Structure 1
Amino acid sequence: MDDYPLLNFFWTMLWFFVWVMWFFLLFKVITDIFRDHTLGGWGKAGWLILVLVLPFIGIFVYLIARGRSMHERDRKQAEEQQAAFRAYVQQTAGAGSGSADELHKLSALKDKGDITQEEFDRAKAKILA
């Protein structure tokens, strides 16, 4: 450790951090290119070639030209995922509680004597199917 001073270590860590952030930004832009539904095939191919062949210029030009819409696509995707999750939870929770309510009502009818055990078993099988 004597031949590698602390300042050089911090300098190396800074460059490593910049390198990791650069790759994060590169992958973020490439993902955004493919996720954008307003771009046609040739537009996507052109941006991808620019970003891969001239990465520094391509990334900076993409961020300047399409940075704002990039944020809007991120927000739209997050909202769509949230809506899909809520619909799934409501569908799953609703289906389970509806069946449980119906079974409870059937059990109450059977306990009162309004339906027979055979009718209860048929209705229960129908609900659970």
Structure 2
Amino acid sequence: MSDIGQHSAQTYLAYDFPLLSVFWSVLWLFLWVMWFVLLFRIIGDIFRDDDLGGWAKAGWLALCIVLPFLGVFVYVMARGRNMGRREIAQARAQQEDFNAYVRQAAAGGGSGSVDELARLSEIRARGDITDEEFRRAKELVLSGHGPAEHPGSATLPASGR
């Protein structure tokens, strides 16, 4: 019978682990995760900051790696106020780059190829160029080999007129 008593004393049941211990364990886990998030944001901010020189970046990075708790605390106290501003400036620059890329892609890779085709169509409708000249000029515009600034001038093929 003593053998059964020893076996049951070694097993832990759910009610053997108090609720307050669960709370503290979850809190400590949350704080560790938040600290690592803060550490990586600080490392990213060190590399993002254009005001810091190379040696200053190396010094802050060494401080945050060698003495992580002290380094993070000192960095947040010394440079934490502008971390958000630098992050917002980087996000705006990325958004502007993305918008410029979308505008370029929407324009067909070239600047104003849609406008060029519309002008060529108008010139053909007026009768200033033939259908063959329009076809060749359209191929030039669509291939990206120099959209004509003045359709009907130097970039259009000679038609013998």
Tell me which residue corresponds to 1:27: 40
Q: What number of residue pairs does the alignment pair up?
A: 128
What RMSD in Å do the two structures reach over aligned CA positions? 2.3
In the alignment, which of 120, 132, 140 is matched to residue 126 of structure 1?
140
- Give the Cα–Cα distance (whole angstroms) in 2 for the partners of residues 94 and 83 of structure 1: 16
Query: What are the Cα deviations for residues 84-121 of structure 1, in whole angstroms up to 9, with x where unaligned?
Result: 122222222234793334434544655x4824332122
Tell me which residue corresponds to 1:58: 71
Q: What residue identity is the alignment partner of 1:121?
A: R
Tell me which residue corresponds to 2:49: 36
Tell me which residue corresponds to 2:100: 87
Q: Is the 8 A contact 2:107 2:114 kept in 1?
A: no
In the alignment, which of 73, 80, 84 is matched to residue 67 of structure 1?
80
- Structure 2 stretches lacking a partner, 5+ long: 1-13, 144-161
* Higher relative contact order, structure no. (Cα contacts within 8 Å, ≥ 6 residues apart): 1
- Give the Cα–Cα distance (whole angstroms) in 1 for the partners of residues 119 and 50 of structure 2: 49
- Give the Cα–Cα distance (whole angstroms) in 2 for the partners of residues 3 and 38 of structure 1: 55
More helix by share: 1
- Give the Cα–Cα distance (whole angstroms) in 2 for the partners of residues 3 and 13 of structure 1: 17
Q: Percent identity?
A: 59
Q: Is the deviation greater in 18-27 or in 3-12? A: 3-12
The runs of 4+ residues in structure 1 deviating greater than 4 Å are 107-110
Structure with greater Cα Rg: 2
Is the partner of 1:37 in helix, strand or coil?
coil
